[in-house]
A = this chain, B = another copy of it.
Amino acid sequence: MHRHFGRLLSSGDGADVTFEVGGETFAAHRCVLAARSSVFMAELFGPMKENTDASVRITDMEAKVFKAMLHFIYTDSLPPMDDEQELVVMAQHLLVAADTYNLERLKLLCVEKLCNHMDASTAATTLALAEQHSCCGLKDLCFKFLASPGNMLKAVVANDGFEHVRSSCPSVLKELVAKLAP
């Protein structure tokens, strides 16, 4: 079934909606999006539907993230990614997308990736995302990672992501300090 819908996506046969995202255009099928996401269902078929025309502009997502989200919607899996750094950054973006479009299983897949690929360069950003998107398990894991002696808290603090945590979710910093207290 995943293979069949994957082929439908790549062929574009019978597509009845296009998305313009970051200068790129993606053809898709309204009913597939609606079947998979209650947000797309409301946007495309609900009484408050925003678009009766065939083109929808998405401004709050990068094209490659939208493309990966479409891949998940049609195949129930993440697209293959070789590079670990790329994988973590994509999982961070897709976690936000999954929350926006209410794609519960995609959110779980992203959390799993972020749990399994945590390092000093990404932990702070992941912590901020975990806080903003109510991923308790992931947040706990970030705390544990940051509090463990080997994980160069100094390197994490020096990172841009940490500044992001400080400005976007200051309350979580307080929690972190409490965890770090002996």
A residues adjacent to B (C-beta < 8 A): 1-2, 4-5, 7-8, 13-16, 29-32, 34-36, 41, 44-45, 76
A84 to chain B, nearest CB (A): 27
Is the Cβ of B32 less than 8 Å from the Cβ of A32?
Answer: yes
Question: Are B29 and A8 in contact (CB-based, < 8 A)?
Answer: no
Neighbouring B residues of A2 by C-beta, 8 Å: 1
Query: Chain A binding site: helix, strand, loop or mixed by DSSP?
Result: helix
Which residue of chain B is the closest to A32 with respect to CB atoms?
B31
Q: Please tell me how many copies of the chain the complex holds.
A: 2
Task: Give the Cβ gap from A79 to chain B, nearest Cβ, in Å.
Answer: 16
A31 x B45 contact (CB < 8 A): no
A45–B13 CB distance below 8 A:
yes
CB distance from A33 to the nearest CB of B (A): 9
Q: Are A36 and B4 in contact (CB under 8 A)?
A: yes
Tell me which of B1, B31, B32, B36 contacts A16 (CB under 8 A).
Answer: B31
- How far apart sit A14 and B16, CA to CA, in the bound complex (Å)? 11
Minimal beta-carbon separation of A91 from chain B (angstroms):
20
How far is B113's CA from A134's CA once the two chains are assembled, in angstroms? 45
Complex Cα spacing A16 to B34, Å:
13
CB distance from A19 to the nearest CB of B (A): 16
Inter-chain contacts of A29 with B (CB < 8 A):
31
Determine which of B14, B36, B45 lies in contact with A34 in the assembled complex, contact meaning CB atoms within 8 Å: B14
Q: Which residues of B contact A32 (CB under 8 A)?
A: 31-32
A31 touching B44, Cβ below 8 Å: no
